[in-house]
Amino acid sequence: MIPGSITAIAAALTCMAAPLVGVAVLRLTERRIDPRLVAIGAIAASLGAAVTLAAWWHLGNGQPARFGHRLAAGDLVLVDGLTALLLPYVAIVDLAIVLVAPRRAFASAGVRRLLTGTAVTFATFITAHPAALAALWAASIVATRSTIRSTLGGQATARVYGRMMGLALTCMVAGTTLLAADPPWLAGSGARGAAGGWLVALAVMIRKGLIPFHSWYPAIFSGASLATALVVTMPQVATYTAARLLVGHADGVPHELVLLANAALLTAAYGAALAVVQRDVRGLVGMLAMSQSAMVFAGLSGTVPTELCGALAIWVSSGLALTGIGLVTWALESRGGRISIDTLQGRCADAPALAAFFLLFGLAVLGFPGTLSFVADDLIIAGSLDDHVHAGILVIITTVFAAIAVIRGWFRVFGGPVPIDACRHAILPRERVAFTGLLAILFGLGLWPGPFIRSLENVAASLLASRQHHAAPAAPVTGDRR
């Protein structure tokens, strides 16, 4: 193993280990240290390691770092462009959640569960081995269900989530077992590998919340804490799993991936339409999250680099923007409880800074010029229209419905008359830091997208090259070997 690869793998493992160290510190210093400070320190360490890994990738020769590749069916540790993109993204999302979370939500046990979930997500994003992915799915599902059950009134939501994720995990375990026995990404695979691919596709479909398995998505946003909902949905573990296990089949783009992409397009449009008629802010955020995450998956089966770049860019841009909207909503709820949007709430005078941040994050979701999502939408629409006309049309319809939903939600929450006895709540410094940081990334990458898009092009090219490599027949061996 070359020194550069050792550095990359060490950085990836540090990302995973830092939150676990935070968990150990909290157990050893119970009630003697602020859990928020421990969580900030642990996730900041993960972010530093992730940035180091990203720098290694962008300054290197584009060759992935591998460990355990002699194991059957995949790499136990794989660090490539996709890993270098996702690890910093997840660290930023989790750091923002830790900064904004209300004080009453920061009991030591809850912080330990959050850090454990973060470590599991990092571990998922540094492996490509089917068995490891299945095991990490199981760990994350069990931890999330336990967290939801501990939430006040979360028993019903935990049941809905547990049933759907139990079915997804069963399909995932069965599918990865068949994939390991007969990998369909190798030429000459048989029926077992094909069946395994379809079972993994079904598992991804359920965990992704695609139609008709989307019932758990609004449930988790309404019945769990917003921190749990964001930690579960924003990383998009199911999309990563599909990218590792369903891309690179021997026949190019597999049929199950095409089916999932079409289901994702319908889910994106359906979720955006449902967001228009939601009656509270949590429902609005949940439907927007379901729609935007499905749109990411819709571009995964693209056969042109532009579409893949757009999907990867939306993965980051929509995740950061929706995290911002969700955290602004959480900040508002910590001041005045659940927020209905059936009528005008008049919250602008109550929290003008939060009103401004909500609007800016909403515009960042919609592809406002100057934001990263503007670049991402342009790429995915152009790529979709070049590849599949119906896909481009559905993406446009999704964007229109999402715009109506966001603007309606903003006016319902912050518009209208202000009660005479309404309280006034100043934005907290840690909230300002988190929101400003997220917006700086969204607008910074939107105003200067060149380096970021070039890095996405490298990731997209590697995915396409993987397909072409596996699709090419093996050349016959002739002559003597010297």
Which amino acid is present at 392?
A: G
- Which of the residue ranges 30-34, 55-59, 382-386, 444-448 has the most confident prediction, judged by mean pLDDT? 444-448
- Comparing 211-220, 298-307, 392-401, 454-463, the range with the smallest average pLDDT is 298-307
Cβ contacts of residue 25 below 8 Å, gap of 6+? 33, 38, 42
The rounded mean pLDDT for the chain is: 83
In angstroms, the Cα distances linking 134 to 184, 231, 238, 255 are: 17, 19, 11, 22
Residue 339 in contact with residue 332, Cβ under 8 Å? yes
The separation between CA 388 and the C-alpha centre of its own chain, rounded to angstroms, equals 25
Is a pLDDT exceeding 60 seen at residue 175? yes
In angstroms, the Cα distances linking 426 to 338, 349, 457 are: 18, 10, 42
SS3 content of the chain, % helix, strand, coil (to 5): 75, 0, 25
- Which of 106, 99, 121, 105 is CA-nearest to residue 18? 121
Residue 140 in contact with residue 120, Cβ under 8 Å? yes
Average pLDDT over residues 43-66: 86
Q: What percent of the chain has pLDDT over 70?
A: 86
Q: In this predicted structure, what is the pLDDT of residue 443? A: 93
Average pLDDT over residues 72-77: 73
pLDDT band at 299 (very low <50, low <70, confident <90, very high): confident
State the Cα–Cα distance between residues 222 and 281, nearest whole angstrom.
9
Is a pLDDT exceeding 90 seen at residue 185? no
Q: In this predicted structure, what is the pLDDT of residue 251? A: 45
Element (H, E) at 333: helix 305-336
Phi, psi of 193 (to 5 degrees): -65, -40
Element (H, E) at 67: strand 65-67
Average pLDDT over residues 288-296: 89
Q: In this predicted structure, what is the pLDDT of residue 177? A: 87
State the Cα–Cα distance between residues 276 and 409, nearest whole angstrom.
8
State the Cα–Cα distance between residues 87 and 316, nearest whole angstrom.
11
Average pLDDT over residues 24-39: 85
Average pLDDT over residues 362-388: 81
State the Cα–Cα distance between residues 433 and 413, nearest whole angstrom.
23
Residues 224-265: tens digit of each pLDDT: 888 889 999 999 999 898 888 876 543 444 677 778 888 888
Name the pTM for this structure. 0.89
Q: In this predicted structure, what is the pLDDT of residue 384? A: 63
Strand partners, 77: 67
CB atoms within 10 A of CB 476: 5
Hey, what long-range contacts does 79-82 have (CB within 8 A, 24 or more apart)?
79/5, 79/8, 79/9, 79/11, 79/12, 79/53, 79/126, 80/459, 80/462, 81/57, 81/455, 81/458, 81/459, 81/462, 82/125, 82/240, 82/243, 82/459, 82/462, 82/463
Torsion, Cα of 94, 100, 106, 109 (10° steps): -10
Cβ contacts of residue 72 below 8 Å, gap of 6+? 180
